[in-house]
Amino acid sequence: MHPIFRTMKKFGILFLCMFLCWSGGVRSQVNSPDVILVGDQVDTSTQMIWASAGLSWQFPFGTLRNTFKMNAQVHANLTYKTASNWTFDLGFAYMFGAKVRDQAAVLGSDMLIPTSSGYLLIDGNGGEATIYFEGRYWSTGLGIGKIIPLDKWKNSGLWLKLSGSYFSHKVNIRVGGSNEKDIVPQLAGDYRKGYDQRAGGFCFSQFVGYVFMRKVRVRSFYAGVEISEIWSKSNRNYQFLLMGPDTSKKFSVLVGIKAGWIIPLFEKRKIQTLYMY
How far apart are the two ends of the chain, measured CA to CA in Å? 64
User: What's the rounded Cα separation, in Å, for the pair 59 and 64?
Assistant: 9
The H-or-E segment that residue 229 falls in is strand 221-234
> pTM for this structure?
0.76
pLDDT digits over 57-89, tens only?
999 999 999 889 999 999 999 999 999 999 999
pLDDT digits over 213-260, tens only?
988 888 899 999 999 999 999 999 998 888 898 899 999 999 999 999
User: What's the rounded Cα separation, in Å, for the pair 82 and 116?
Assistant: 59
219 DSSP assignment: G
The H-or-E segment that residue 166 falls in is strand 157-175
* 3 state DSSP class of 139: strand
263 torsion bin: left (phi>0), alpha (psi -120 to 50), beta (else):
beta
| Four-residue CA torsion sign, 274, 275, 276, 277 | negative
User: What's the rounded Cα separation, in Å, for the pair 258 and 172?
Assistant: 24
At residue 179 the predicted structure's pLDDT band, cuts being 50, 70 and 90, is: low
CB 58, CB 95: distance < 8 Å: yes
Sequence-ordered list of residues with C-beta below 8 angstroms from that of 24, at least 6 positions apart, any chain: none
User: What's the rounded Cα separation, in Å, for the pair 80 and 145?
Assistant: 10
The H-or-E segment that residue 153 falls in is none
At residue 269 the predicted structure's pLDDT band, cuts being 50, 70 and 90, is: low
Mode of pairing for the β-strands spanning 128-129 and 131-148: unpaired
CB atoms within 10 A of CB 181: 16
211 DSSP assignment: E
Residue 181: pLDDT over 60 = no
User: What's the rounded Cα separation, in Å, for the pair 77 and 150?
Assistant: 24
- Domains assigned to the chain: 3-273 (2.40.160.20)
User: What's the rounded Cα separation, in Å, for the pair 168 and 233?
Assistant: 9
Most confident of 36-45, 81-90, 170-179: 81-90
**DSSP bridge partners of 266:** 49
